[in-house]
A = this chain, B = another copy of it.
Amino acid sequence: MTTPLRLGIAGLGTVGVGIVRIVQKHGDLLAARAGRPIEIVAVSARSKSKNRDVDLSGYAWEDDPVSLAARADIDVFVEVMGGHEGPAKDATEAAIAAGKDVVSANKALLAVHGQALAEAAEDAGRVIRFEAAVAGGIPVVKALTEGLAGNDITRVMGVMNGSCNYILTRMQDAGLSYEAVFDEANQLGYLEADPELDVGGIDAGHKLALLSSIAFGTQVDFDGVELEGIGSVTIEDINQAADMGYKIKLLGVAQLTGRGLEQRMSPCLVPDTSPLGQLEGGTNMVVLEGDAVNQIVLRGPGAGEGPTASAVMGDVMDIARGFRISTFGQPAGTLRKARPARAAVPAPYYLRMQLLDKPGALAKIAHALGEAGISIDRMRQYGHDDTSAPVLIVTHKTTRSALDEAIAAFGSTGVVAGDPVAIRIEAV
C-alpha cells in the first residue's frame, strides 16, 4: 500500500488547524509509520478569507462541508466542526453515503446520533473513529476498545471536562466562590460559547455515553446519563471535604448492574490521595476496570490544539494502516439497547445542612436517616451563628433513593434551614 491516504478536513478551528500542522510537519514520519503518505486534499470552514496561520494554498477549498464529504478525491472525511445537528451531521452522513471513512472529534454528534451513524457506516462498509471525542489526547477509546478487548469491563470512570476540573481546583486553591471562578474561566476563554455544556456536565456526559457503549456493548444512550453539573458546588463543601481527606470532582461513572446500565456524571467526593483526587487543573483522567486487567488509569491533556489533533491523527494512521473496526467495538446491530438504571449502586454520601438551634435537632435528623435505613459514619457540627449551625454527616453506604427519602423527611422535622447538600462519595 503506497497509495496516499487522502483527507478532507471540515473545520479549521483549534483542532482542524492542529491536524494541518501535524500533516505538514511530519509528512515523512507519518509515511514511514503508515507505509504510505498522508495527504490533505481539501478543506472547508465558514470563512475562506480568515487568516489561520497555516498555509492552505495546496488544498482545494469547499464552502460546503457536505460537498467536501462527497468529493471523489478523498478517502477519509475528518469532521472537526462540532455540533450535533446541522452541517456536522449532514456532512458525516454524506461522507458515509459517498463511501468515505470518517474520523470525528465530535462527541455531541456521536453521543446523540452514534447508533444511527454506526449502522449507516456498517451498511456502507466504512468506519467511524472518534478517539479525539473522548478525553482529548488520551488514547482511551483505543485502550478500551482494543487493548482491553479481552476483558469483561466492570466500571468506567473519568474526569473528562478540563474546564470543570480547572474551576473546582481553582476554587480550592484560591478559596474563591464558584461564581467568581466561573467568571474568571469564562474571561480566559476556557468555557464553551454555551458554558452549560461544560459546567452542566453535558460535554463530559457525551464522553461517558460513548465510553459506556464500548465498555458494555450497549447502544450509546446519552439520555440515560444522570447529569448533575458543578454549579451547586460551594467553596464550603470543597473545604469541608478537604478537611475529611476528600476532593470534589465532576466524575463520570458507568457501570452495568443487575438493574441495568448506570451512567452518572456528577460532582463526587474522591479520596485526595487517589489518582483522581490528585488531578489538578485542565488535565483529564480515565479509569478503566475489567475482570482480567483489574484497573488501569490514563491521564493526559483533555483538550487543546496539539493533543486533540494527536488523537485525530491516531485514528487517521489506523485507517492508513488498514485497520478497520466497528464504531463501538462490535457490529452496530449487535449492540443491545441500554436499560438505564438510575443510581442503582449504593455509596456513602456527604450531607451538609444548616440545623436550627432547637432542642433535639440532631436527634431528629439522625432519626429521619435511621427511618430510611441509613446509618451514620461520621457527624460533625462546626461553627455556629445566632440561630443555626452547619452540620456535616457522612453516611454509610446507601442508595440515592433512600437518601432522597430521608432528605424529604428532614422537611417535616422543622429543624433544617434551607436545602441540604448531598454529594456521593465514590470508591475509586
Contact = CB atoms under 8 A, between A and B. Distances in A.
Nearest to A322: B324
A313 B150 contact: yes
A29 interface: yes
Contacts of A143: 139, 142-143, 147
A29 B324 CA distance: 19
Interface stretch (A4-12, A185-193, A299-307, A381-389): A299-307
Interface stretch (A82-90, A238-246, A329-337): A329-337
Contacts of A147: 131, 139, 142-143, 311, 314
A321 interface: yes
A18 B292 CA distance: 8
Contacts of A313: 149-151, 292
Interface in A133-164: 137-139, 142-143, 146-152
Given A147-B314, A278-B278, A294-B307, A33 B299 contact: no
A63 B33 CA distance: 39
A30 interface: yes
B297 A334 contact: no
Given A147-B142, A148-B310, A330 B32 contact: yes
Oligomeric state, in number of copies?
2
Interface in A351-365: none
Nearest to A279: B275
Query: Which of A30, A299, A316 neighbours the largest number of chain B CB atoms within 10 Å of its CB?
Result: A299
Contact of A298 (B148, B149, B296): B296
Interface string A9-47: 000000000100010001001101111000000000000
Given A146-B142, A150-B314, A293-B307, A299 B299 contact: yes
Given A139-B147, A292-B22, A299 B300 contact: no
B138 A139 contact: no
A314 B146 contact: yes
A318 interface: yes
A30 B150 contact: yes
A183 to B, nearest CB: 28
Contacts of A325: 321, 323
A201 interface: no
A254 interface: no
A300 B293 contact: yes
Nearest to A147: B139
B306 A148 contact: no
A29 B275 CA distance: 30
A406 B426 CA distance: 53
A357 to B, nearest CB: 43
A301 to B, nearest CB: 5
A26 B292 CA distance: 11
A230 interface: no
Nearest to A149: B317
A309 B323 CA distance: 23
Contacts of A300: 293-297
A151 B310 contact: yes
Contacts of A314: 146-150
Query: Which of A147, A290, A322 neighbours the largest number of chain B CB atoms within 10 Å of its CB?
Result: A147
15 contacts: A18-B292, A30-B149, A32-B331, A35-B330, A137-B296, A139-B142, A139-B296, A142-B142, A142-B146, A275-B275, A278-B278, A292-B307, A293-B301, A294-B300, A322-B324
Which 10 A-B residue pairs are closest in the complex by CB-CB distance? A150-B313, A139-B147, A296-B300, A149-B317, A292-B310, A293-B310, A292-B306, A137-B293, A297-B299, A323-B323
Given A35-B331, A137-B293, A149-B314, 9 more contacts: A22-B150, A26-B150, A32-B331, A131-B147, A139-B296, A149-B313, A149-B318, A150-B310, A322-B323
